[in-house]
Chain A
Amino acid sequence: MTAIKWNDQQPIFRQLKEKVVELIIDGEVSEGEAVPSVRQVAADYQINPLTVSKAYQELVDESILEKRRGLGMFVTESAREKLLESEKDQFLNVEWPKIMQRVERLGLSMQQLIDEKSTQVEDK
């Protein structure tokens, strides 16, 4: 039974969803494998089964998970790809611009940082 510190900024079902996504991207749960049952997750993390259902349902809507009658929830075949795609998307369109903004705000130059990084790598 692992304890998760849920933050209070996002609804729990969304945080749970992100956790599941993390597991899939990191390869902890492979495509075609079953994810723990709603009941199991609810009991292990001491949250309401409806919350878990909601998280799983959204993932089903996004074709990350699929429900197989009588067997449970499984990771879809192309789940990892899709997730990596959307992560890449998110990074490129939202996070990367933010990082660049910050670099500028701090008065640094992107080129400088890259050069420094390459010399570090060469030294190793």
Chain B
Amino acid sequence: MTILIQAKGLSKSYGSHQVLKSVDFSVKRGRIVGLVGPNGAGKTTILKSILGLTSYDGDLKVLGLDPARQRHQIMQKVSFIADVAVLPRWLKVENALEFVTDVHPNFNLDKARYFLSKTNIPMQARVKELSKGMVAQLHLALVMSIDAELLVLDEPTLGLDILYRKEFYNQLLAEFFDEGRSILVTTHQIEEIENLLTDLIFIRDGRIILDATMEEVAVKYIEVMVSKDDAAKAEALGPVMQRDVFGRKVYLFEGISREELEPLGELHSPSVADLFVAKMKEGK
């Protein structure tokens, strides 16, 4: 099964407020997918639907299973971290290991011990005695020791300092990710992960406004830094966005080939953040 998540016409309303408006997307195996959008856009709702934590309308299949009905089976092969600090404060590290071992058929206790041995986390400590970063390390150690096909991360590095954040993704890449698994991640700190991603999904007001692989994005979206003389020529090609940098204009083009743009000036790839801003402004 190459497609791990398949959504067709996924919708969700809270009362009269429609949070997801008939969304289609899919996540293939071996990919790292970034889900980007402002607060309230529907990112969390999508994640909750995938994890069977909320009801929804439309068609959604995770690992071929139905999150509304087969949540228990899905949770054996899907791990998630909602916010690294949700471990119960009274839980002892040792007991956490014991619990997950007894409860999760795909948990590797030795691996977890190995990951923890590389940290300063004492086995006898309770979660409330650990710093936020250490709680993140503990949670990550547990998750990485689960042989999951899909890992869902909802703002996993929120509130962590830079060292722990870098280590978080470092560990994920070094010890967990491989071509058999996929990771779906939402974060506000998009710059941090843009080089990790294989796929990018933008969501705004419950609708997907971009869904492409990073390779497609590299070809489709090009920024050109243009001198004043060439400004008119550039504008004739129909840029989607422009901004000023040190008196020069930077235009963002969508779907115009490199050859056409090369004569106008220096070509750059837009950062995902800039691309996101551009897409958000579109149609406003």
Q: Which residues of A are in contact with B by a Cβ distance under 8 Å? A: 1, 6, 8-9, 11-12, 39-40, 42-51
Tell me, rounded to whole Å, the shortest Cβ–Cβ distance linking B3 to chain A. 17
Q: A1-B166, A11-B218, A40-B174 are in contact. Are A47 and B271 (CB under 8 A)?
A: no
**Residues of A contacting B202 with CB < 8 Å?**
none
**Residues of A contacting B218 with CB < 8 Å?**
11
| A9 and B269 within 8 A (CB) | yes
Residue in B closest to A51 when the chains form the complex, CB atoms: B195
Contact with A along B259-281 (1 / 0, CB 8 A): 00000001111110000000000
A49 to B198, CA, bound (A): 9
The 7 closest A-B CB pairs, nearest first, are: A43-B174, A43-B173, A47-B195, A8-B268, A42-B173, A43-B170, A8-B269
| A43 and B195 within 8 A (CB) | no
Cβ of B32 within 8 Å of any chain A Cβ, yes or no, is yes
Tell me, rounded to whole Å, the shortest Cβ–Cβ distance linking A7 to chain B. 8
Tell me, rounded to whole Å, the shortest Cβ–Cβ distance linking B187 to chain A. 13
Contact size range, B: 20 to 34
Residue in B closest to A40 when the chains form the complex, CB atoms: B174
Q: Which of B162-220 contact A (CB under 8 A)?
A: 166, 169-174, 177-178, 192-193, 195-198, 214, 218
Q: A9-B266, A9-B269, A46-B169 are in contact. Are A39 and B174 (CB under 8 A)?
A: yes
| B195 and A1 within 8 A (CB) | no
Most-contacted residue by chain A among B171, B269, B270, B271 (CB, 10 A): B269
**Residues of B contacting A48 with CB < 8 Å?**
32, 195-198, 214
| B268 and A6 within 8 A (CB) | no
SS class, residues of chain B in contact with chain A: mixed
Q: Which residues of B are in contact with A by a Cβ distance under 8 Å? A: 30, 32, 166, 169-174, 177-178, 192-193, 195-198, 214, 218, 223, 266-271
| B170 and A39 within 8 A (CB) | no
26 interchain pairs (CB within 8 A)? A1-B170, A8-B223, A8-B268, A8-B270, A8-B271, A9-B267, A11-B269, A12-B195, A39-B173, A40-B174, A42-B173, A42-B174, A42-B177, A42-B196, A43-B171, A43-B172, A44-B170, A45-B195, A46-B166, A46-B169, A46-B170, A46-B193, A46-B195, A48-B32, A48-B195, A50-B30
A43 to B32, CA, bound (A): 14
A8 to B178, CA, bound (A): 26
Tell me, rounded to whole Å, the shortest Cβ–Cβ distance linking B161 to chain A. 15
**Residues of A contacting B214 with CB < 8 Å?**
48
Residue in B closest to A3 when the chains form the complex, CB atoms: B166
A38 to B223, CA, bound (A): 30
Question: What 5 new A-B contacts, CB under 8 Å, besides A44-B170, A46-B169, A49-B177?
Answer: A39-B174, A43-B174, A46-B173, A49-B173, A49-B178
| A50 and B198 within 8 A (CB) | yes
**Residues of B contacting A39 with CB < 8 Å?**
173-174
A12 to B198, CA, bound (A): 12
A43 to B174, CA, bound (A): 5
A11 to B193, CA, bound (A): 16
Tell me, rounded to whole Å, the shortest Cβ–Cβ distance linking A123 to chain B. 40
**Residues of A contacting B197 with CB < 8 Å?**
48
